[in-house]
Amino acid sequence: MKESLGTTGLLLNEPLLWEKGKKGRCGFSLPRRDVEPCSLDEEFMGEGPDFPDLSELDVVRHYTRLAQWNFGVDTGMYPLGSCTMKYSPKTNEKQASLPGFTGAHPLLPSGLSQGALNMLFEFEQYLNEITGMYATTLQPAAGAHGELTGMLIIHAFHKKQGSKRSKIIVPDTAHGTNPASISLCGFRPVPVTSNEQGILSVQAVSEIMDQDTAGIMVTNPNTLGLFEENIQNIAEIVHAKGGLVYCDGANMNAVMGMVKMGDIGIDLMQLNLHKTFSTPHGGGGPGSGPVSVAKHLEPFLPVPRVIEENGAYILAQDYPDSIGKISAFHGAFGVVIKAYSYIRRMGPENLKKASQLAVLNANYIKEMLKGTLHLPYDRPCMHECVFSDKHQAAQKIATLDMAKRLMDYGFHPPTTYFPLVVPGAIMVEPTETESKEDIDQFIAAFKAIANEAGENPDLLHHAPKSCKVKRLDEVTAARKPCLAG
Amino acid sequence: MIYLPHTHEDIFSMLQVLGVDNLDDLFSTVPEDCRFNGHLNLPEALSEWELNDHMSTLSNTMAVSPEYKVFLGAGSYEHFIPASVSYLLGRSEFVTSYTPYQPEMSQGTLQAIYEYQTLAARLLGMEVATASHYDGATALAEALLMAVRITKRKKVAISSLIHPLYRRVVQTYFEPAGYEVVELPYLNTGVTDDSGLDDMDDLAAVAIQSPNFFGCIENLQVLGQKTHDKKALFVASFTEALAYGLLKNPGSQGADIVGGEGQSLGINSSFGGPALGMLASSKKHMRSLPGRLVGKTKDLDGKTGFVLTLATREQHIRREKATSNICTNNSLCALAAAMYMASLGGTGIRKLAQLNHDKAEYLKKELKKAGFTITFDRPTFNEFVVEFPSGFEANHKHLLEKKIVAGLCLAPYYPELANHYLLCVTETRSKDDMDALVREVKS
């Protein structure tokens, strides 16, 4: 194995913000006062918040030190399954920080915001093309917000038809956000079990699909990294009983230019721009979760819609069947700029190539590690593969121990203990932006760790040893929560 | 393509390991009739510098400062952002990491969000603040759903002076689950009319925004008391977080839950998003909060560290019984707000808020002098309503050509307020800008 990436380094300790500074300092250049002071009625005056006073350098060092305790895609491989931690191109950041975009007020008259509206309009067309759908809204602020929007559209569709349905079918492999989005919308999730191949069977769905079921919510490719091969037949069954088929498109990175969801029976789906379209994850957002729909669901999309009229773009409000508004303004516009830039830089061939290489990387890892780790579904995968800790159980080594040990080797661990259908799951999604050398090094690290599990299991039990902190006491954190200082 | 590292040789050797001949064969599990065999109809790839050209062209059409003098607020405010904040926020260790599921490798994000929660709680006068939500509107909707869960009642009363677009989002969230939203009208003094509350029973919550959509400062203390007399939860909302540098915060006036917008705290307008949903509550209701929370704890060696906590409220554990479906939130925006609040400090935020207030008062005074009516005489923060003579709409359009956006026309949101405009002034508008505005609207 090549020399491990993980090494020691000098990390500086840094206290909490309010343990620093001195009253009277300031890290902010206050603008010139060019008007007279004017006092506010005492009745409304507060004391002002108790913030620490810090100099600019105090603030700069504070956050620079904190940043150094973090690991990002720019630091190293971050194969968090289901999260698509691909490289976020730097030019995207540059475009999103153009003053014409950052400074734009959301309520500007449309005549003064043509560039933004033009981009939103074009971007919706691009997503329509990639998904094979008819229309798209960019208003949802994240993937789960898109799911909620989708459920609201399903609800509005049935209401318009005069039918009241109470259930949505959701497979056991679903993201936790799926059942939560379903119930937030007043529906009851009805679980359906995937078959021994890890996918949905036509029969399982037909047994529970009925006239009280509003639709089905399928992640495709699913969270085992497998393509739902029976999707067209399943869609037929759901449609025959008047239901709609929702696709959680969080895993679209596997099939861009290979599969158009609109062509295979999907009625509506969300995309996660922070996954498939390379916008950075920001330590937990902001993301963006556009929803694309087939023609029969267009009337229900959130308002306003961007439309083209006489060569200009305007915001149209008049859609009486619309579900209304899902964000205050136009959604995460700043994120959309980055995804738009990505699609323009990639073009159609490279988008398809990205999906192919994402699938190549995942299958390569699956093949290279399947002797080392237990592979519960030994079939060709899409963009991610799911192992388990079954082989290491005899050595009393769990997924958690291997994940923590990977840190010492300089890798972010994969997603662990998800999907729930695989006990001790290790879900690896390398993405297409990782090179063969980096993937080989990741594979070698995992193999080395599996060896250590036999020879020196304590190394794993006590991992990580090279991070800023050791394993943390999460139980006490939850029992006696300390959420503010 | 510079984002795709694979050479032909790499692809060939990896395919060999897999025992397949070409990339298409990797998709053998996708049934033939599910495949798209065409060519995506998208524009051909641009080089990096071609993209620069294209995006500059688009962004140059936008009406922004300093070329335009924009007197718009209404939920999105132009405030100065120090270079240090933008620079630090660009650190790729913050930008390119994800939700800190692995705390040992994410202490930077975790401590920063813990600090954000603390500063946010102090700003709002609350005990606990979450790691962030999407925007003010969704934070308010989640705050109200939280009240419904806590009280097990299905009706909320919300002020008609809550941002009209926030009310629409609340309506969208509430409608399918069958919850009821009743709107409280407003008085001609520019504050919420709470008299209707007397006849309402079984309320989960009463929601009030202060400063309200007209910029007027509500008497939260009195409204809170009245809400508590009805045994309902008092939910405070806001669109201009900076106001609490000067005004009494919601927590000190009896708010049980606070949900509003933090964009003012170091986040660009960016055509309305991404923004920062701020959500806070008392400790009593902490376990009913939706969204991520960071807590302080110790590691095996007894060293202080931070983790995501109280996860049993969340969708990845509780699934359909979770307090919300939220997963990805707006963490980087919360980080920006923390950096901004840290840069301002207690002393700075006080001065800055006072300056915002004083500038708006100056414009108000000058407009009055010029003969216009300031509709509501209630104290305001940095925005207020002015009535222009009928037919001003044409003048407003004419001013756009002179690169002045003279506020937001209120008629589409409040039909009874024809010819009324909501004007906003922050520290970024100079006295000269305001004098020019007054001159122009007079002529």
Confidence grade of residue B321 (pLDDT, cut at 50, 70, 90): confident
Q: Are residues A204 and A127 in the same domain?
A: yes
The CATH number of the domain where A175 resides is what?
3.40.640.10
A356 and A336, same domain (yes or no): no
Nearest chain B residue to A183, by CA: B320
Quote the percentage of chain B above a pLDDT of 90. Answer: 95
Query: Do A325 and A366 share a domain, yes or no?
Result: no
Residues of B within 8 A of A275 (CB-CB) are none
Sheet containing B420-424: order of strands: B373-374, B383-387, B420-424, B408-409
Considering the domain boundaries, does residue A274 fall inside one? yes
* Domain final position from A286, A309, A344: A344
Query: What pLDDT digit, counting tens, does each position of A313-328 carry?
Result: 999 999 999 999 999 9
Do A387 and A332 lie in one domain? The reply is no
Q: Which helix (H) or strand (E) holds A446?
A: helix A436-455
Q: Which domain holds residue A364?
A: 352-469
Phi/psi for B129 (5° steps) reads -125, 145
Are B57 and A115 in contact (CB < 8 Å)? yes
User: Does A55 contact chain B (CB < 8 Å)?
Assistant: no
* Residues of chain A with C-beta less than 8 angstroms from the C-beta of B247: 40, 44-46
Q: How far apart are CA A411 and CA A442, in angstroms?
A: 7
Q: Of A307, A328, A344, which closes a domain?
A: A344
Which candidate from B40, B247, B300 shows the least CB-CB separation from A44? B247
The radius of gyration of chain B from alpha carbons, rounded to an integer in Å, stands at 25
Q: Under an 8 A CB cutoff, do B352 and A30 touch?
A: yes
Same domain, yes or no: A111 and A219? yes
Q: Does B312 touch chain A (CB under 8 A)?
A: yes
Residues A215 and A135 in one domain: yes
Q: Hey, are the CB atoms on A350 and B347 less than 8 Å from each other?
A: no
> Residues A464-485: what's their mean pLDDT?
95
The topology under which CATH files domain B83-340 is Aspartate Aminotransferase; domain 2 (3.40.640)
Residue of B nearest to A75 (CA): B93
CATH class, B69-82+345-442 region? alpha beta
Name the pLDDT band for B389 (thresholds 50, 70, 90).
very high
| Residue A294 within any structural domain of the chain | yes
B221 CB within 8 Å of a chain A CB: no
Query: Among A344, A361, A376, which residue terminates a domain?
Result: A344
Q: Which helix (H) or strand (E) holds A291?
A: strand A291-293
Confidence band of A1 (pLDDT split at 50, 70, 90): low
Predicted confidence band of residue A248 (pLDDT cuts 50, 70, 90): very high
Residues A330-377: tens digit of each pLDDT: 999 999 999 999 999 999 999 999 999 999 999 999 999 999 999 999
Domain check: are A232 and A298 in the same one? yes
Question: Looking at this predicted complex, what is its ipTM?
Answer: 0.97
Q: Who among B29, B57, B350 is closest to A380 (CB)?
A: B29
Report the Cα A119 to chain-centroid distance in Å: 22
Q: How confident is the model at residue B443 (pLDDT cuts 50, 70, 90)?
A: confident
- Cβ neighbors of B38 (< 8 A, separation 6 or more) are none
Q: Are residues B182 and B188 in contact, defined by beta-carbon separation less than 8 angstroms?
A: no
The domain that holds A373 is classified in CATH as 3.90.1150.10
Asked if A303 and A407 sit in the same domain, the reply is no
On chain A, the residues whose CB falls within 8 A of the CB of B162 are: none
Whether A234 is in a domain gets the answer: yes
B105–chain A Cβ distance below 8 A for any pair: yes
Statement: residue B122 has pLDDT above 90: yes
Residues A289 and A216 in one domain: yes
Distances (CA, A) of B84 to A28, A56, B89, B90: 9, 7, 8, 10
Q: How far is B428 from chain A (nearest CA, A)?
A: 8
Q: By the 8 A CB rule, do B342 and B265 touch?
A: no
Tens digits of per-residue pLDDT, B165-209? 999 999 999 999 899 999 999 999 999 999 999 999 999 999 999
Q: Where are the alpha helices (DSSP H) in B160-272?
A: 164-174, 220-229
Specify the amino acid at residue A318: D
Question: Are the C-beta atoms of residues A150 and A270 closer than 8 Å to each other?
Answer: yes
Helix, strand, or coil (residue A176): coil
Number of structural domains in chain A: 2
pLDDT of B356 > 80? The answer is yes
- What percent of chain A has pLDDT above 70? 100
Mean pLDDT of B214-218: 98
Q: pLDDT for A190-218, tens place per residue?
A: 999 999 999 999 999 999 999 999 999 99
Q: Where are the domains of chain B?
A: 69-82+345-442, 83-340
Choose among A17, A49, A478, A185: nearest CA to B286. Answer: A478
CB pair distance less than 8 Å for B44 and A348? yes
Give the mean pLDDT of A138-167.
97
Q: Among A1-15, A140-154, B155-169, B396-410, which stretch is predicted with the lowest mean pLDDT? A: A1-15
Is A50 in CB contact (< 8 Å) with chain B?
A: yes
Q: Is residue A14 part of a domain?
A: no
Range B425-443 average pLDDT:
95
A107 with A234, same domain: the answer is yes
The average pLDDT across A290-295 equals: 98
Contact yes or no for A250/A217 (Cβ under 8 A): no
Judge if A98 and A211 occupy the same domain.
yes
**Residue B314 scores a pLDDT above 90:** no
Q: What confidence tier does B317 reach under pLDDT thresholds 50, 70, 90?
A: confident
Pair A260, A189 in one domain: yes
Q: What's the distance, CA B47 to chain centroid? A: 35
DSSP B216: B
